[in-house]
Amino acid sequence: MISRLPIKVSAPLLVGVPVLLVGIGLLVRWNLQSRAAVREVADQNIQQIHDMVSTKVIDLLSMPPRVCRLNRDLLLTGKLDPNDLPSWRKTFIDELMAFDMLSSITWGSEDGRACWFARYSQGNYYWALKNDPAGDTMSEWRVDDQGGMATEPSSTFEFDLHTRPWYTVPREAGVPTWTEPYVWVGAEDSELNTLGISYGIPMYRDDGSLWGVVDADFTLDDLGDYLQSIAIGRSGVAVLATDDGRMVATSTGHSVVGGDRSRLLASESPNPMIKATGRFIGKEGATLDASKDIDIEDESYYLQVSPIGRDLGLDWTLATVVPERDFVANIDREFGRSSIASSIAVILAVLVGMLAARWLVEPLLKLVSAVRRIGQGDLETRVDILHAPEYTQLADEINDMAIGLQDRMRMRRSLSLAMEVQRNLLPSESPVLAGLDIIGHSTYCDETGGDYYDFLDVIDADDDTVVVAVGDVMGHGVAAAMLMATARGILRSRCSVPGSLSDFLVHLNSMLVPDTSGYRFMTMLLVTVNGRTRDMRWTSAGHGTPIVFDPVTDGFIELSGTGIPLGLVEGTDYEECTRDALPEGSIVLAATDGIWETKGETGELYGMERLESFIRSHATRTAAEISEALRAELTVFRGQAVQDDDVTFVLVKITSATRVAGGQNSDIMAEAG
């Protein structure tokens, strides 16, 4: 039938129809591939948002337990006198200024006395004190930024310690615990509701009676401010809720507290996206840690739900909802534009023939070929197209994508190099000393870590003494590794000048505080063991004391002595402790908390009791055998769970005076990795 048509009609048809079909086919394929790619990018974007929010929430919420443990240690070491609460003011002020994300730091004695230092909703600071056990009045003073305050209190009010949730919840639980999020009214503005959460540690006397509760409060408004600062797609939202489905913070800026000062359910939110998450969070919601496609008012949305705060003892849920249009709107618009352009191209092809068809199809094929080469790993591919704006824009995006992938590969190589450098900072071999069997080990949970151990060459140490340093930097990753490397350099430099262990920590703290400004810190334990006299000395900056097994009593020696972590407070002094004449066969373990806080598949911690039982049962083995067995046991206990903290330890076993430790030096670098 075509042959019956005039050539001026059939020729354009023979050219135009195939061009039309090819154009439509390529556009549909491009649209489908683009949607699939955008969905993958959307999932990655939402996951990155989850990771960012989770990291920030964990960083913020980890501060109250850390501060409570710090004050617990200060109480146990006598740095804070429970019979002289007014003397606590400076310590509380220093802590709240250093950890400015906290809203208050509190102590309540079982006899009814209490004190706190707090930052209220308008940013003003207050010191409160109830020093009379028989009284029922709390006095409060306004404190300026320099810590000064008036002689007379700015206000007084009735106060009953035994009715305060921050006190009663840990007391009744008998263990460190969080309260439920609660609504409180700032003292400066009775109309302003503030949502907060409290973490408390109950403390007991030697006879088992309650001594009091150390507490730190955190204002959850800061989480809301952080969520609002994140771009969640173009118009998506994020909501943080407790296990009962009640909101803690959102990215919309809407209040999570109702008019009756009760927390609102996500299903009660005026925002339809947050309201839709109510079916998927809370005790009766769907399974956590899942990605779903949901419909809200006949529109498609991406929903990501995941648990958060489990490591801190909080059963919270993070939900992120992003409209599908945020990711595919551009594709739909480009598809519409390209369809129009294809129609015009068909008309032009009818008029000008094959030349126009080639002009239209060739750039698209070039783009497809470039994307295919990039997908096959050729990241040097670049697309140079001087054509229609849509093609040029798409080519620029493809070029940017290839450059971005190259940057990611370079970053991965840089991380690998940083990991190798950090491994080389660890000791390459253990000291060989008469009377001592020594080995060290470190395994990082990320490419780089914040744990550290070293055998120090101290100028005035005798030849029979090993000097061990074990440290733990807050957090993981490159920043923690940099702080660890800095501390290592300072400590090794100080070894050329005579001094005590406490002198070393004082010097290291004085050098770190100006750099960290109190925002990052690390703990450190210094230990010396003499193989001839079997004497041990130690000093600690916020780190646990050495674990010492006594084979004579078949038990563990109780040790004390700790101080403030390094990098927080300038001018801090550190106590140096001693233990004389340890018996032969004693085991001294200096370690980070990555050992006893190792988690199994069910979330159960390995714990100190298991560690002590392990040491007791392996006490007759060499240091290298104990190290290998401990690592194997932790691996079996962890099972399929991911290692979420660095594991570092140095083990010193006291042998007979004539025995020389050896045999473990050849594989020390493998253990350090």
Q: Give 649-660 pLDDT, tens digit per residue.
A: 999 999 985 444
pLDDT in tens, 478-520: 777 788 888 888 999 999 899 999 999 999 999 998 887 767 8
pLDDT at 286 over 50: no
pLDDT in the model for residue 30: 64
Q: Do 119 and 14 share a domain, yes or no?
A: no
- The whole-number pLDDT of residue 352 equals 62
CATH of the domain at 250: 3.30.450.20
Tell me phi and psi for residue 652, to 5 degrees: -120, 120
Indicate whether 3 pLDDT > 60: no
pLDDT at 431 over 50: yes
pLDDT score recorded for residue 57: 75
Q: pLDDT for 51-60, tens place per residue?
A: 777 787 778 8
Pair type for strands 177-178 and 125-130:
unpaired
Mean of pLDDT values over 287-303: 79
- Note the pLDDT of residue 454: 93
Distance CA 514, CA 247 (A): 39
Say yes or no: 437 and 384 in one domain.
no
Report the distance separating Cα 279 and Cα 295, nearest Å.
12
The verdict on 270 and 191 lying in the same domain is no
How would residue 414 be classed by pLDDT, with cut points 50, 70 and 90? Answer: low
Q: Determine if residue 125 is left, alpha or beta; phi over 0 gives left, psi from -120 to 50 gives alpha, anything else beta.
A: beta
Distance CA(370)–CA(383), nearest Å, equals 7
Contacts of 649 (CB under 8 A, 6+ apart): 440, 441, 442, 453, 470, 589, 590, 591, 592, 595, 627, 630
Comparison of pLDDT for 332 and 553, the residue scoring more: 553
User: Final residue of a domain: which of 326, 346, 363?
Assistant: 326
One-letter amino acid for residue 145 of the chain: D
Structure tokens at 148: 């000064």
Measured CA to CA, the distance from residue 97 to residue 125 in angstroms comes to: 10
State whether 339 and 318 are in the same domain: no
Residue 178 has pLDDT above 70, yes or no: yes
**Number of domains the chain contains:** 4
Do the beta carbons of residue 568 and residue 513 sit within 8 Å? yes
Domain finish residue from 370, 386, 419: 419
What CATH number does the domain containing 528 carry? 3.60.40.10
Of 79 and 288, which is predicted with more confidence? 79
333-362 pLDDT per residue, tens: 665 666 676 667 656 665 665 665 566 667
State both tokens at 520.
């990052």
Residues 311 and 370 in one domain: no
Cα–Cα–Cα angle for 112, 118, 120, nearest 5°? 125
Query: Which CA distances in Å does 97 have to 93, 127, 213, 662?
Result: 6, 13, 21, 49
Average pLDDT over residues 237-245: 87
45 part of a folded domain = no
Find the domain containing 92 and state its range.
Answer: 63-219
Percent of the chain with pLDDT over 70: 80
- Specify the pLDDT at position 426: 85
Domain assignment of residue 55, yes or no: no
Q: Is 134 within the bounds of a domain? A: yes
CA separation, residue 165 to residues 160, 225, 405, 628, 634 (Å): 11, 26, 52, 46, 38
Q: Are residues 337 and 317 in the same domain?
A: no
Instruction: Return the number of other C-beta atoms located less than 10 Å from residue 652's C-beta.
Output: 29
Which range (28-32, 515-519, 545-549) has the least confidence? 28-32
* pLDDT tens digits for range 587-610: 999 999 999 999 999 999 999 999
User: Degrees (nearest 5) of the Cα angle 581, 584, 586?
Assistant: 85
As a whole number, mean pLDDT of residues 614-625 equals 95
- Determine, yes or no, domain membership for 170: yes
Q: Which residue has the tokens 């390995």?
A: 606
Cα dihedral across residues 218, 224, 227, 228: positive or negative: negative
Lowest mean pLDDT segment, chosen from 15-19, 417-421, 437-441 = 417-421
Nearest to 198 by CA among 127, 118, 82, 81: 118
The residue-averaged pLDDT of 28-35 equals 68
Would you say residue 198 lies in a domain?
A: yes
Q: Are residues 667 and 538 in the same domain?
A: yes
Nearest to 413 by CA among 427, 405, 648: 405
Q: Pick from 95, 158, 154, 93: which is nearest to 130 by CA?
A: 158
Task: Please list the alpha-helical segments (H only) found in 469-561.
Answer: 477-494, 501-516
What mean pLDDT is predicted for residues 441-468?
Answer: 85
Q: Does residue 327 contact residue 42 with C-beta atoms inside 8 Å?
A: yes
Token pair 């080639």 in the structure block, residue:
358
**To the nearest whole percent, how much of the chain has pLDDT over 90?**
38
Residue 586 confidence (pLDDT) above 70: yes
Of residues 220 and 92, more confidence is placed in 92
3-class secondary structure, 266: helix
Q: Are residues 73 and 184 in the same domain?
A: yes
Flag whether 477 is in a domain: yes
With CA atoms as reference, report the closest residue to 532 among 432, 464, 430, 467. 464
Check whether residue 103 and residue 160 sit in a common domain.
yes
DSSP secondary structure string, 153-200? -SEEEE--GGG-HHHHHHHHH-S-EEPPPEEEE-TT-TT-EEEEEEEE
- Contacts with 607 (C-beta within 8 Å, 6 or more apart), sequence order: 596
88 pLDDT exceeds 70? Answer: yes
- What average pLDDT does the chain have? 82
* 658, HSE (Cβ side, Cα atoms, 13 Å): 0
48, part of any domain: no
Do 560 and 449 lie in one domain? The reply is: yes
The verdict on 543 and 602 lying in the same domain is yes
Best mean pLDDT range from 120-124, 312-316, 340-344: 312-316
Confirm whether 51 is domain-assigned: no
- Looking at 326, 345, 374, the residue that finishes a domain is 326
What pLDDT, on the 0 to 100 scale, is given for residue 672? 36
All residues at 6 or more sequence positions from 484 whose CB lies less than 8 Å from its CB, including other chains: 422, 425, 449, 450, 451, 452, 471, 473, 522
Q: What integer is the mean pLDDT of 233-258? A: 85
Picking from 183, 180, 219, 198, the residue whose alpha carbon sits closest to that of residue 108 is 198
Residues 291 and 280 in one domain: yes
Q: Which tens digits make up the pLDDT trace of 148-160?
A: 888 899 999 999 9
Alpha carbons 38 and 412: distance in angstroms, whole number? 24
Type and span of the H or E element at 372: helix 354-375
Q: What is the pLDDT of residue 350?
A: 57
Q: Provide the pLDDT confidence category of residue 234 given band limits of 50, 70 and 90.
A: confident
